[in-house]
Structure 1
Amino acid sequence: MDHLDHVPARRGLVIFLNGTSSSGKSSIAGELLRTLDEPYFHMPVDAFHAMRSSSPVPQDQLASVLHRTWQGYHRAVAGMAAAGNNVVVDHVLSAEWRLRDCLSLLVPQDVVLVKVHCARKELERRERMRGDRPPGLAVGQLEQVHAHGVYDLECDTGEATPRECARRIKDFLSARTRPTAFERLRGAMERQSL
């Protein structure tokens, strides 16, 4: 008999980094993987978009293809956490349905929602330096990405290095409080649907 048949059941913790493109999420995620004491998987949404074949998508189908990609990504994250894996999510909640979908799939007490942001001028500078994103993408996402307004923790990447942000998140994990941001947001979502 395989000894792995007896792996104890548990739920994984999800560190959910939410911010615009170029806000510093991936840099923080990289530092978290080096800093955290337990194994974590970094699951950036960009990696899921990169998995798609290079076949051209007709313009009239692009929105549907992207929507299904996001939905699949959310379910992959939820599946990894449900199997007991700790996950660092690198996400852009630039559409309300994305937050609602995540709220319906993830165990809210097992999510640490982190606001990742920096000043508008710094976002614009980073976007120019990257050169791989359409100009104005990050600033265009600003209003919706943080519209829900509820977080467990905040990281200003214009004021703190990715390493400092990762350390702050790690320190927060041992002192998490309830209700979590996801618990509060899910409660608000359920009240709205009554």
Structure 2
Amino acid sequence: MTGKASIIFLHGASSSGKSTLARLLQDRIERPFWHISIDHLRNSGVLPLERVKAGDFKWREMRAPFFAGYHASLAAYAAAGNNLIIEHILDTPGWQGELARLFAPFDVLFVALHCPVDELNRRELARGDRPAGSAEKDALTIHEGRRYDLELQTSDGVEENAKRVMVAWRGDRAASWFFEVTLGR
């Protein structure tokens, strides 16, 4: 842990429990952390989703500039001295490299959250706000070829996983594996 802003980056499939873990971390960790996710923006009305659904706007045309702005805003929050718990799904080529460049000045803990596919499917169905099968698709692809500073299993429980994240965050760490795309590790 250093004097610069900290970023705890939770990476996992949709419905894997990132939000639950982030809320518990925010509640327990000894420094103030913002909890930020795309769901927060979507649910707050930032995006004109009703007009996207009505066909007035095309999400595929809005997606790239939306995420470029989102990623830049995360770096700006940290540059202002805010610690962040970020939930994200790195499902687009180049995003990790883009974020690694933006997050280079900060202390990053890159955390994988794994959840069994049958449980993801159950959670996705219960949520009812995701296309069927998207969580399973995420789970089968987003972790490929990535190295993490910490890997967690949802089956270990949110309390145990929060403890593991806090121990890792507090500990002495080498450069985060998050930066391997720019450091060539």
Give the TM-score, by structure 2 length.
0.88
Secondary structure, aligned partner of 2:58: helix
What is the CA-CA distance between 1:144 and the residue it aligns to?
3.0
User: 1:62 — aligned with what?
Assistant: 59
For the pair 1:180 / 2:180, whether they are aligned, the reply is no
CA shift in 2, pair 1:75/1:166, >3 Å: same
State how far apart, in whole Å, the 1-side matches of 2:31 and 2:163 are: 14
Q: Percent identity?
A: 32
- The within-5 A match list for 1:115-130 is 115-130=112-127
Q: Which amino acid aligns with 1:81?
A: A
Contact 2:15 2:120 in 1 (8 A): yes
For the pair 1:91 / 2:88, whether they are aligned, the reply is yes
Contact 1:48 1:73 in 2 (8 A): no
Q: Which runs of 4+ in 1 moved over 4 A?
A: none
For the pair 1:73 / 2:70, whether they are aligned, the reply is yes
What is the CA-CA distance between 1:55 and the residue it aligns to?
4.7
Consecutive unaligned residues of structure 1, counting only runs of 5 or more, are 1-9, 190-194
**In the alignment, which of 11, 34, 39 is matched to residue 41 of structure 1?**
34
User: 2:7 — aligned with what?
Assistant: 14
Consecutive unaligned residues of structure 2, counting only runs of 5 or more, are none
Report the count of equivalent residues: 179
Q: Which amino acid aligns with 2:15?
A: S
User: 1:146 — aligned with what?
Assistant: 143
Give the TM-score, by structure 1 length.
0.84
User: 2:133 — aligned with what?
Assistant: 136
State how far apart, in whole Å, the 2-side matches of 1:183 and 1:38 are: 24
CA-based RMSD: 1.9
Q: Which structure is larger by alpha-carbon Rg, 1 or 2? A: 1
